[in-house]
């Protein structure tokens, strides 16, 4: 399957449907040169013979296979998706590693490993870094599965945000005319499941180039994988507008340190040169009412991550992006988008 995509093309936000991922999406991940090259290099540089390794969220098993090929003594591989996990088993056996691994078909919170491991490898990152809920998952895994002397791969990651001007992306969100890998990834169904009414209260997968930046990117949140990372937070950022444009939302991306000398940065936008990631693209956090801005204006952002009042899936998370656009000391406009439905929130607060 070849996935063709263009700059400013709005795609279905795959990180919101983890439990529905199929072979098409796993194929897309396996063909993603930026992702694969970085993970292969990192695993080869970190895995030492005799290591016991956990591949958390093994999917089709590629990262676990690389760990075994790099000399790992034993591999534990966990995945909640039973259909995809059979492909991992096939891969390990075809690699000649029968007897050197054990798989667990469950969510990691419910797994108990027979022993602690030297290394936890995972690729449960979303394009905002934490939009596949890695913080509680890896905090729990570190606590229960890792030896005191053990290592995490990735070892750290940060989220970057930058305000952008993309009228093209805005129009696609407004008309809900978005691209998807196959018909199983359905926007209307996703909006319904999340109880989010406006398509502007959701983020999307979109490649946004530097030409669309209105300001310099800033780090919004950092994660050290040390057991103390925050899963719920409020971050205030002020962006100085440097060019004329129509502010339509924010671009989000992550930079992950996989190993000492291996960094995976998905912010690039040269599709032909593979500086973009086929599976992550970038995150686009749209605003409903675009605002004309000019150099000297300031975009003040309150970026919030939280969990909804009613959680209907282990991966249900919410982001909220709101703020003011300032010209001198005057507020010329404001925005407020949230993945938690206001109606549900209001009805819950009135019921109580």
Ligand X SMILES: C[S@@+](CC[C@H](N)C(=O)[O-])C[C@H]1O[C@@H](n2cnc3c(N)ncnc32)[C@H](O)[C@@H]1O
Q: Which residues bind ligand X (CB under 6 A)?
A: 18, 29, 57-60, 62-63, 78-81, 84, 107-108, 123-124, 137
The secondary structure of 8-62, three-state, reads CCEECCHHHHHHHCCHHHHHHHHCCHHHHHHHHHHHHHHCCCCCEEEEECCCCCH
In the bound state with ligand X, the residue whose beta carbon lies nearer, of 63 and 264, is 63
In the bound state with ligand X, the residue whose beta carbon lies nearer, of 18 and 339, is 18
In the bound state with ligand X, the residue whose beta carbon lies nearer, of 7 and 65, is 65
The nearest distance, CB 193 to ligand X, in angstroms, is 17
SS3 291: strand
Copy the structure tokens of residue 223.
Answer: 């994660």
CB 57, CB 29: distance < 8 Å: no
CA-to-CA separations, 322 to 81, 124, 200, 249, 291, in angstroms, rounded: 35, 26, 12, 10, 14
The nearest distance, CB 317 to ligand X, in angstroms, is 12
In the bound state with ligand X, the residue whose beta carbon lies nearer, of 123 and 130, is 123
Rg (CA), the chain: 21
In the bound state with ligand X, the residue whose beta carbon lies nearer, of 30 and 255, is 30
The nearest distance, CB 101 to ligand X, in angstroms, is 14
Q: Is the peptide bond before 330 cis (omega within 30 degrees of 0)?
A: no
The nearest distance, CB 199 to ligand X, in angstroms, is 24
The nearest distance, CB 63 to ligand X, in angstroms, is 5
């Amino acid at each position: 399957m070849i996935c063709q995509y263009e700059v400013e093309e709005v795609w279905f936000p795959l990180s919101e449907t983890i439990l529905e991922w199929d072979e098409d999406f796993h194929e897309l991940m396996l063909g993603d040169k930026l992702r694969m090259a970085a993970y292969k290099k990192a695993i080869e540089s970190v895995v030492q013979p005799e290591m016991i390794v956990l591949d958390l969220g093994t999917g089709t098993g590629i990262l676990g296979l690389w760990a075994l090929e790099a000399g790992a003594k034993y591999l534990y591989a966990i995945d909640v998706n039973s259909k995809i996990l059979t492909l991992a088993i096939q891969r390990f056996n075809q690699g000649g590693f029968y007897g050197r691994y054990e798989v667990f078909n469950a969510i990691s919170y419910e797994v108990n490993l027979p022993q602690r491991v030297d290394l936890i490898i995972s690729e449960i990152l979303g394009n905002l870094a934490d939009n596949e809920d890695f913080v509680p998952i890896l905090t729990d895994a570190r606590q229960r599965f890792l030896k005191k002397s053990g290592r995490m791969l990735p070892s750290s990651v940060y989220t970057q945000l930058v305000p952008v001007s993309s009228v093209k992306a805005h129009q696609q969100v407004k008309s809900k005319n978005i691209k998807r890998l196959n018909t199983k990834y359905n926007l209307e169904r996703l909006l319904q499941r999340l109880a989010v009414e406006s398509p502007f209260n959701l983020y999307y997968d979109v490649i946004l180039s530097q030409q669309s930046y209105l300001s310099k990117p800033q780090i919004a949140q950092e994660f050290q994988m040390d057991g103390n990372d925050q899963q719920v937070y409020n971050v205030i950022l002020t962006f100085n507008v440097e060019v004329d444009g129509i502010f339509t939302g924010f671009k989000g991306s992550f930079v992950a340190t996989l190993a000492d000398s291996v960094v995976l940065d998905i912010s690039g936008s040269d599709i032909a040169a593979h500086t973009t990631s086929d599976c992550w693209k970038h995150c686009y956090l749209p605003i409903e009412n675009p605002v004309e801005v000019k150099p000297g204006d300031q975009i003040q952002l309150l970026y919030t991550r939280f969990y909804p009042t009613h959680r209907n899936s282990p991966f249900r998370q919410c982001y909220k992006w709101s703020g003011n656009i300032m010209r001198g000391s005057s507020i010329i406009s404001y925005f407020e988008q949230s993945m938690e439905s206001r109606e549900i929130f209001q009805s819950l607060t009135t019921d109580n």
